[in-house]
Amino acid sequence: MLHHANTFAAVFVTLWVAHTVGDHWVQTSVQSAKKGQHDRNPGQSSRVGRLACTRHVLSLTLTKVLFLALAAVALDLPLSAAGVTIGLGLDAASHWWADRRSSLAWLAGVTGKAEFYNLGTGAHDAHPVTAKGKPAGHLGTGAYALDQAFHALFLFVAALIIAAV
């Protein structure tokens, strides 16, 4: 039905904007720096990493709820509590999984994307360097691009669920 397609389009755009705001503006520097910490890193606690990631995903999901509520009221979207709960729940779980970092690195490895995952880092053969051979600043990494693409996939799935349920 056309109303499902229109609802999907409005929900997806809303979730994309909320994701971008929540992942880049709402997420704290501490959450960003610590959410991937694991016991296998000397001096770092996995508990600290899990808590930082959980706090990030909670604030991100709240951002999405607020944006979605605003869009639902402004556009008179026919959303159900079940659809929103299931869609955002799946999105939050997938976001937490990916943002623990080792899981997304593993996925990149098993899908043949490990080289791209390392692009822009010192682990990549063609990493950017200054004239003195030191690591050079740049605008992004393969890990970041794969992270955002993974999140976009689940925003798409969440929007489908929210529009259809």
Residue 137, exposed/middle/buried by CB under 10 A (0-12, 13-18, 19+)? exposed
SS3 135: strand
Q: What is residue 141's DSSP assignment?
A: -
- Dig out the tokens for 78 from the structure: 């026919």
pLDDT tens readout for residues 19-70: 999 999 999 999 988 898 887 655 556 888 999 999 999 999 999 999 999 9
- Dig out the tokens for 122 from the structure: 């010192």
How many whole angstroms separate alpha carbon 42 and alpha carbon 22?
Answer: 30
Long-range contacts of 41-49 (CB under 8 A, 24+ apart): 49/100
Of the chain, the percentage scoring pLDDT greater than 70 comes to 85
pLDDT tens readout for residues 100-133: 988 899 999 999 998 888 877 665 565 666 677 7
Q: Are 57 and 73 in contact (CB under 8 A)?
A: no
Task: Give me the chain's average pLDDT, please.
Answer: 89
